[in-house]
């Protein structure tokens, strides 16, 4: 009898081994700030690697319903090529966009970006310190495990954002903060990628199972 190998995703879905896995990060800006989307494809192995497949800075002043619709369309397109997980920034203005996505049938992972040191929450609602999100991306990028193609739109801006990030330490509380420096203080592309990569790296590890193949 032929045997097909599947993995249990941890969310009640069995996936055929070898299927493509995509993670989309959505960073939401205030109305005067940019929002951005980043999609990575995850490759399993001794060390997981991530190829950046899509990077986009949304139009300034784009309405929240338009952001939700644009994101839903990206999720739908990506699902044609493999399993897709949407991870959004639920901090501040993220709540109304999250509601709009839920209303359209999309169930993202909602991450509130915090200034602490510990990850909180469970399931699809998580609180993750900014230092952990950025630190994970920088570590994986430095190890060559996040690969950014030169022809990806906004790749130059993304690299510049990474180079502009700096760590500040409050001398009184010793609390760290991560922020962009210089005249162009955008961090939307970095945060969108960090959301996708962090969740992809730390999501529950799939458990391999074997299911008889029929036909």
Give pLDDT, residue 94: 85
pLDDT digits 0-9 by tens, 124-183: 999 999 889 988 998 998 899 999 988 899 999 998 888 876 655 444 544 555 555 555
Give pLDDT, residue 162: 84
CA 21 to the chain's CA centroid: 12
Q: Where is pLDDT greater, at 157 or 16? A: 157
Between helix 130-142 and helix 155-164 the angle, nearest 10°, is: 120
**Percentage of the chain modeled with pLDDT above 90:** 50
What CATH number belongs to 3-212? Answer: 3.30.420.240
pLDDT above 90 (res 5): no
Taking all residues of the chain, what is their mean pLDDT, rounded to a whole number? 80
Domain ranges (residues) in the chain: 3-212
Give pLDDT, residue 196: 97
């Amino acid at each position: 009898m032929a045997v097909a190998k599947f993995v249990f995703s941890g969310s009640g879905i069995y996936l055929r081994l070898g299927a493509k896995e995509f993670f989309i990060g959505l960073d939401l800006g205030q109305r005067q700030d940019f929002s951005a989307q980043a999609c990575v494809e995850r490759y399993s192995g001794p060390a997981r690697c991530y190829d950046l497949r899509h990077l986009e800075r949304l139009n300034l002043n784009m309405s929240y319903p338009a952001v939700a619709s644009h994101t839903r369309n990206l999720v739908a397109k990506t699902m044609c090529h493999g399993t897709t997980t949407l991870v959004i920034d639920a901090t501040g203005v993220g709540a109304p966009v999250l509601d709009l996505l839920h209303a359209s049938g999309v169930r993202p992972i909602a991450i509130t970006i915090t200034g602490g040191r510990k990850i909180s929450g469970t399931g699809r609602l998580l609180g993750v310190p900014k230092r952990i999100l950025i630190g994970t991306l920088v570590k994986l990028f430095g190890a060559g495990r996040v690969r950014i193609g030169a022809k990806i739109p906004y790749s130059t801006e993304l690299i510049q954002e990474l180079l502009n990030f700096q760590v500040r330490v409050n001398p009184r509380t010793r609390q760290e903060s991560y922020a962009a420096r210089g005249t162009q203080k955008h961090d939307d592309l970095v945060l969108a990628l960090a959301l996708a990569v962090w969740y992809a790296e730390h999501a529950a590890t799939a458990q391999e199972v074997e299911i008889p193949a029929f036909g």
